[in-house]
Chain A
Amino acid sequence: MNYLEEIKTEGQKYISRRHFFKNCGIGIGAVALSSLLQHDASATHRSSFIAQPSDNPLAPKPPHFAPKAKRVIYLFQAGAPSQLEMFDNKPGLAKYNGKPCPPELLKGQTLAFIKPDAALYATEFKFAKYGKSGAEMSEALIHLPKVADNLTIIKSMMTDAINHAPAQIFMNTGSIQFGRPSFGSWVTYGLGCETQELPAFVVLSSAGGTSGGSSLWGSGFLPTLYQGVPFRRTGDPILSLSNPRGISREMQRDSLDALKDLNEHQLANTGDQEISTRINAFEMAYRMQESAPELMDLSKESKATLEMYGAEPGKNSYANNCLLARRLIERGTRFVQLYHEAWDHHGQVHKGVKEQCKETDQANAALIQDLQQRGLLEDTIVIWGGEFGRTPMVQGEPDGSSSLGRDHHNKAFTMWVAGGGFKPGITIGETDEIGFNVVHDPIHVHDLHATLLHLLGFDHEKLTYRFQGRDFRLTDVHGVVNQKLLE
């Protein structure tokens, strides 16, 4: 009896329905029914879900409403760059240079390394205004001024955490506690992926390993399907991408053909539709084996493009990763996150910022330009920023082992975003005279998350997942969409 045929012809409707429902709580079924649409379960949404092929849990899905942005490139500057050396120009700080920080500012403030009587320290960089928008940037940035009018600069970011690992986790998951899904996972969970040949959520890294480890792109309580896939810097970008030595692509195909036949046979015998998902997963793996090396091969890019980014094929660099990010989203990847863990300048912040700008500035500007040239910027969000900012006070170890650095600061820092429906050419937010506190338009991490989800077509209060009897969301119980940031 060809049970498989029977199922295919007669039971198709039931099978796919059953398959979705069956996974409730542990699979994509939870996305479809128990969570994502529970507040907005209109018939159109429901039917559009059911119409998806049941054997690809990462198939593209529509969000709550028409989105401005379809994909995200998040340039995570881990270690926390100094806003005072790059964006937040504080001439007032020069007046107090070398004097102790006013004690009323420090009341209740946790300081990580420095003593409360540390002196204020004015930056040694000069600032200028750029573009029609007059965005302020320091001389540490040479290339970014060229795209000043594309940027939305937020000088009034605030976060809850003051140590690296918790703050990186917070910036990614909206919680200081481990175990929550990352922003990238939420987006992948909500939108699925346009390609089946590459991972939906890719993580690239240059410089050091991150403080937060793999939890930064983890899926928390969402199925691991939605977690970020870290690309390695050398060898195969994806773990186990290459066949073992001696096995050719033809042999891999032979093996997969046999696997497919045997698994389909088992599907017919058992009627378990999960086998169909597995067959599909193997086929996607096979395609990924071809498309990932093609993706990684930067030599196909024009000389002009390589020069624009400062990229060199075969090298691990921030510039290469920026170019890879563009290639990934062009090919349908939903979320690319770059980590550059190199900004923790407790000593010699001037020198450190200068060096890291040299590593990253050109590529950041090139990415914006490149996306714009290709018409991708309008529906791609680019995010730049660290996990917190740095103090207006100087950090120098009492024993002189390091000097003229800055400590961790969570009360005010700068991030910029571009594309995907953000209002270009504006600077929002303002800090006090010395850059310690936000005085205008504070934007908390939760607000940024809410706004980002809004542009991706989600009501941040409705993109939820039921876990431990609670509907969890990226913004926890907080977050306000900031209209000023929107086009």
Chain B
Amino acid sequence: MFRSIKILLLISCFTLSLAVAVGAMKGKSRNSKSETKPHWAFIAPAQPTLPAVKNKAWVKTPIDYFVLAELEKNELKPSPEADKTTLIRRLSLDLIGLPPTLKEIDDFIADTSPNAYEKLVDRLLSSPHYGERWGRWWLDVARYADTNGFEKDRDRSIWPYRDWVINALNKDMPFDQFTVEQLAGDLLPNATLQQRIATGFLRNSMLNEEAAVEPEQFRVEGIIDRVDAVGKAFLGLTVNCAQCHTHKFDPIKHQEYYQFYAFLNNDEEPEIEVPTTAENKKRAEIIAGITKIEDELFAKNPDLPKRISKWEQQAKLDEGQWTILTDTSVIGTNGVKFERMLDDSFIARGDNPPQNVYYLKAKTNLKNITGFRLELMTDHSLPHNGPGRATAGTVLLSEFNLEAAPIAQPEKIEQIKIDSASADFSSTDNTINRAIDGNPKTSWSLDAGPGLRNQDRKAVFVPKNVVGYDSGTVLTFAISQKEFGGSAAERFEAPNLGRFRLSVTTAANPKADPLPKNVRSILGIPAANRTKEQQCEVFRFYRTTVSEFAEANKAAVALMKNWPYPATTMVLTPRAVERETRIFKRGDWKRQETLVTPDTPAFLHPFPKDAPRNRLGLAKWIVDKNNPLTARVIVNRIWQNYFGQGLVATPEDFGTRCDKPSHPELLDWLAVEFRDGAMGRQGDGAKLPTTDHRPPTTWSMKAIHRLIVTSATYRQSSSIPPSALSVQPSENHLLARAPRFRVDAETIRDIALSASGLLSLKVGGPSVFPPIPDGAMAVSFRSRTVWETSQGEDKYRRGMYTFWKRSVPYPSMSVFDAPNGDMSCTRRARSNSPLQALTTLNDAVFMEAAQALALRVWKEGGNDDRAKLIYAFRLCTSRTPDEFELNRLQKLLKQEQARFTGKTAAAVYVAAPDLNNLPADVDLHKIAGWTMVARVLLNLDETITRQ
């Protein structure tokens, strides 16, 4: 059976390579000798046979054949296996991003069974912290951040996407599914909430809300960023190089860039609620409570159906006849800009200043206009659906003013006096009359309270005299919100109008239709055809109009007060009407030319026959077995995390300019293994690894991790053999030893907190605010100049949960090369600077870790200094110190304890993080000395290095 699959695969590869060869002629590799051979990375990988090696005893997995063959070719020997302590620390840091506990180390050393190592690997791969460690790896390419970027850099809520990534990895979601859900989870049949959350991958683009920006320009920038992220994360292609012109080095045409772009250019960008189980339960309870009240009303009033039906007759007359103004334009003060919707409504975009006036100009040929209707409409791009722009979606309307002029004489402006106004809803004290009282500091409020405030509303304004000139009329509406007293920094709290539309009527005595939109549309359905839910909705509104039900209505309102507002997250959903994509001349969004339709670059594998031309089709194309890139790109980036450098050193670029792979056959072998599972194995490989009896799985990331970390290559010592210096001075790319490198920014924090016992191991949830140096946020332009430090457990969460502000990223992680999140990052820099030294020496978080470590060592570390020193050293580095190290630390301890003698103040400052809460029953002079030792240990090169 294996054989037949293999043959099929070979055939399909062959077919594809022919197809590719034609398209990829231009993309010939600079590394290839033949002028006509396509670039290697554009031909789908086939699993190569394992090379012959001399030292078969060394080999543990198929990986080792490839590595050993190269070493033997270069007359090099692999390094010996690292000791067990090094191995468990390396494995723990690599697989879960945390150092092992001392018990875990001891247990592993004590376990002499032949599969002790594999058991350890399995334990770590099934740890919930695996998803955190490798989730962060994915979040780099997903350019995750907690703010929008640019000048305003407002907070955003998208952490549910981070949770989704962690959970997906912990479940070992197959990579094809992982891809499909992130690019098109919402388009899957019966998409679940989790699948919709996954599309946050695309939403991680920055958003410019600076005053006066053109929303379209920065929407386009966002799509360009998404194309870039998809290109780098899944394809290892620098697609964006074709944004302005045909790619210089890779065979991507200018037009093909926009065809690719078209897949991602057809969406709306809603925020959706992500209720917890408790919140869902609470909501159900409230609904049940209200239903109970309503049932009681029915029970007490058997004539209700008749009364409702009579009320409906009257209600049907209240709708009025309105003409929507369609010849309209709108400008706002303070640089607010608008998007026109297909139904002739406008949505305010960009900045949301504390106060604002929208000027809407409309032309109409109607005469004898008796009323003007302002509709405030919900939209899923507004906070909690709006209709306003405040964080709860609320609105205040301070004044509604109107001028009219004949179209023929636009300078002949007439102020229109508004005589009366009505609204379908007003909050108790803020009636609609406040919008026509001439006082900009009083407003109409339509805040109906939790759970009720986010619905369509309307107000009708009646002029003293009818309006309309014979030649047609220009109406200029001035709709203002001037009551909000917030400062500029609170601008996104400002209750300005979100989505709105204006209509006029010529009917007599116009009034705002009291019926909500949903009830109005149900009334259009014959009573007999209504569902139970629709009947309930009608009654739910009807009862509020009945004065004798006041008590029951009050009770229902009281229940709603506790309506929970869940966290939200940012997702994608397709537009109802497709958006056109045109080629931008030289990449300039204002110079749009030829129309294009979604398609993938011709030099790659064909688009799947039956796949739709949308994001879902694109995702299916990416995980198509004929795709030459994706499997290679992902295993390469996984490899890079283990060995410091990928088999291809440029993980974001597998194009013709990429570096030649160090082990091309190994890369292909791993890629096929990843894509097809162990089924495609050949020769010796089919028998390896001997300890793994799991069913073959395709696209399993955990299987690739297991394969790599169980290899002899991975298990080598990282010490540099003197022979390697002379033979191979440049790099360790032949892997004659394991690499030794500084851990990532987040892990530096995690190690310090873990060694000191402070670390919280809570998985998932919203971002947290660990301590930050005073004034560190001062470079931020406006929002969140205050950083409210988290309390309790949240003060000590893992680094990956730190609130990530794009314009001012958390300093102590930024300094260690954590990516900003401005764009997709496939490879972190690993710098080594004095500012890093200052951070781990002096930053308050690290000092607190030193203090906690000292106290921990004092209490748990044994009876004498020597035992305590060993304990402390092990907590930081996992290994037992040698005599030199012990003596040196002993010397430091004595030296520092002497310095604190008679200096109580200094001792207390150094020993205790909180002077109001001094640790009891300890000699703080002594603890201070230990704190100094702990601080040195946390700063050791070895403590922050994976070796």
Output the nearest chain A residue to B913 by Cβ-Cβ distance: A244
Q: Which residues of A contact B214 (CB under 8 A)?
A: 110
Minimum CB–CB distance for B224 against chain A, Å: 8
User: Please, what's the 1-or-0 string for B323-335, where 1 marks a CB less than 8 Å from any CB in chain A?
Assistant: 0000000010111
Which has the most chain B C-beta neighbours within 10 Å: A215, A224, A251, A254? A224
Cβ of B834 and Cβ of A281 under 8 Å apart?
yes
Determine the chain A residues whose CB is within 8 A of the CB of B151 once the complex forms. Answer: 163-165, 211-213
Which chain B residues lie closer than 8 Å to A295 at the CB level?
A: none
B725 touches A18 (CB 8 A): yes
Q: Which of A244-280 contact B (CB under 8 A)?
A: 244-248, 250-252, 254-255, 258-259, 261-263, 265-266, 269-272, 274-275, 277-279
Whether B779 contacts A205 by the Cβ 8 Å rule is yes
Counting CB contacts under 8 A, is A439 at the interface? no
Distance in angstroms from A287 CB to nearest chain B CB is 8
The answer to whether the Cβ of A125 comes within 8 Å of any Cβ in the partner chain is no
* In contact, B885 and A398 (Cβ under 8 angstroms): no
Are B831 and A214 in contact (CB-based, < 8 A)?
no
Task: Chain A residues near B273: list those with CB within 8 A.
Answer: none
Q: Inside 8 A of B232's CB, which chain A residues have their CB?
A: 468
**Are A178 and B820 touching (Cβ within 8 A)?**
yes
* CB-defined contacts of A22 to chain B, threshold 8 Å: 730-732
Range, interface on chain B: 35 or more
**Distance of A468 Cα from B211 Cα, bound (Å):** 33
Q: How far is the CA of A446 from the CA of B770 in the complex (A)?
A: 41
Listed stretches A64-72, A94-102, A230-238, A366-374; interface member: A230-238
Q: Is A91 an interface residue (CB 8 A)?
A: no
CB pair B827 A240 closer than 8 Å: no
How far is B806's CA from A18's CA once the two chains are assembled, in angstroms? 36
Residue among B248, B478, B812, B830 having the largest count of chain A Cβ atoms under 10 Å: B830
A240-B773 in contact (CB<8A): yes
Instruction: Tell me, rounded to whole Å, the shortest Cβ–Cβ distance linking A324 to chain B.
Output: 16
B742 at interface (Cβ–Cβ under 8 A)? Answer: yes
Q: Mark A51-92, 1 if CB is under 8 A from B, else 0.
A: 000000100000000000000000000000000000000000
CB of A44 within 8 Å of the partner chain: no
**Would A288 and B834 count as touching, CB distance under 8 A?**
yes
CB <8 Å contact, B359 and A233:
no
Tell me, yes or no, whether A469 is within 8 Å of chain B by CB: yes
Q: Is A239 an interface residue (CB 8 A)?
A: yes
Interface: A43 (CB within 8 A): no
- Whether a CB of chain A sits under 8 angstroms from the CB of B889 is yes
The A179-205 residues at the B interface (CB cut-off 8 A) are 179, 199, 205
Question: Taking CB as reference atom, which chain B residue is nearest A17?
Answer: B729
- Docked CA distance A278–B652 (Å): 29
- Give the CA-CA distance A285 to B842 in the complex, in Å: 11
- Known: A164-B151, A255-B932, A468-B652. Is A179-B823 also a contact (CB below 8 A)? yes
Which residues of chain B have C-beta atoms less than 8 A from A145's C-beta?
none
A4 in the interface (beta carbon within 8 A): no
Give every chain A residue within 8 A of B224 (Cβ-Cβ).
177
B822-A178 in contact (CB<8A): yes
Q: Is the CB of A239 within 8 A of B807?
A: no
B210 touches A165 (CB 8 A): yes
User: For residues 1 through 43 of chain A, which have their beta carbon under 8 Å from a beta carbon of chain B?
Assistant: 6, 11, 14-15, 17-18, 21-22, 24-27
- A265 & B885 in contact (Cβ 8 Å cutoff): yes
Give A112 to B50 CA distance when docked, in angstroms. Answer: 63
Are B658 and A262 neighbours in the complex by a CB distance under 8 Å? Answer: no
Q: A164-B210, A214-B807, A240-B773 are in contact. Are A24 and B731 (CB under 8 A)?
A: yes
User: Which B790-848 residues have a C-beta within 8 angstroms of A?
Assistant: 806-809, 811-812, 814-817, 820, 822-823, 827, 829-839, 841-844, 847
Instruction: Check A483 for interface membership: any CB of B closer than 8 A.
Output: no
Task: Give a binary string over B188-225; 1 marks a CB under 8 Å from any A CB, 0 the rest.
Answer: 00000000000000000010101111100000010010
- At the interface, yes or no: A166 with Cβ under 8 Å from chain B? yes
- CB atoms of A14 and B650 under 8 A apart: no
Contact at B333–A397, with CB atoms within 8 Å?
yes
Across the interface, B729 reaches (CB within 8 A) one of A18, A113, A163, A178, namely: A18
Indicate if the CB atoms of A401 and B780 lie closer than 8 Å. no
Contact residue among A26, A218, A271, A278 (Cβ-Cβ distance under 8 Å from B941):
A278
Q: Flag if A255 contacts B935 (CB, 8 Å).
A: yes
Among A254, A258, A284: residue with most chain B CB under 10 A: A258
Q: Which A134-181 residues sit within 8 Å CB-CB of chain B?
A: 163-166, 176-179
Q: State whether A255 and B892 are in contact (beta carbons under 8 Å apart), knowing that A235-B775, A239-B776, A470-B241 are contacts in the complex.
A: yes
Chain B neighbourhood of A266, CB < 8 A: 940-942
From residue B236, how far is it (CB to closest CB) to chain A in Å? 10
Residue B781 interfacial (CB < 8 Å): yes
A213 adjacent to B941 (CB under 8 Å): no
When A281-B832, A284-B834 are in contact, do A165 and B150 touch as well, CB less than 8 Å?
yes
A-contacting residues, B286-309, CB 8 Å: none
Are A224 and B731 in contact, with the CB atoms below 8 A?
no
B730 near A211 with CB under 8 A, answer: no
Residue B895 interfacial (CB < 8 Å): yes
**Contact across chains for B722 and A11 when beta carbons are under 8 A apart:** yes
Q: Is the CB of B649 within 8 A of A25?
A: yes
Please indicate the chain B residues that have their CB under 8 angstroms from the CB of A259 in the complex.
936, 939-940
Using A209-B781, A213-B153, A240-B773 as known contacts, say yes or no to A245 and B722 having CB atoms under 8 A apart.
no
Asked whether, in the complex, the Cβ of A246 is within 8 Å of the Cβ of B829, the reply is no
A residues near B459, Cβ cutoff 8 Å: none
Once the chains bind, are A263 and B940 in contact (CB under 8 Å)? yes
Residues of B within 8 A of A104 (CB): none
Residue A429 at the chain B interface, CB threshold 8 Å: no
Q: Which residues of B are found within 8 Å of A332, using beta-carbon distances? A: none
Q: How far is the CB of A153 from chain B (nearest CB, A)?
A: 29
Q: Bound state CA distance, A112 and B211, in angstroms? A: 8
In this assembly, does A241 line the interface, its C-beta being within 8 Å of a C-beta of chain B? Answer: yes
Asked if A242 is at the interface (CB within 8 A of a chain B CB), the reply is: yes
For chain B residues 331-359, which have a beta carbon within 8 Å of chain A?
331, 333-335, 355, 357, 359
Contact indicator B831/A224 (Cβ below 8 Å) = yes
Please indicate the chain B residues that have their CB under 8 angstroms from the CB of A209 in the complex.
778-782, 785
Does residue B720 face the partner (Cβ distance < 8 Å to A)? Answer: yes
- Can you give 16 contacting A-B residue pairs, CB < 8 Å? A14-B725, A22-B731, A27-B829, A112-B213, A177-B221, A209-B785, A213-B781, A239-B773, A243-B841, A244-B847, A247-B932, A278-B832, A285-B841, A288-B834, A399-B357, A401-B355
- B interface residues (Cβ-Cβ under 8 A, vs A): 149-151, 153, 206, 208, 210-214, 221, 224, 232, 238, 241, 248-250, 331, 333-335, 355, 357, 359, 478, 480, 590, 645, 649-650, 652-653, 655-658, 718-720, 722, 725-726, 729-732, 740-742, 773-776, 778-782, 785, 806-809, 811-812, 814-817, 820, 822-823, 827, 829-839, 841-844, 847, 884-885, 888-889, 891-892, 895-896, 899, 905-910, 928, 932, 935-936, 939-942, 947
Interchain residue pairs A-B with the least CB separation, the first 3: A213-B807, A246-B909, A271-B720
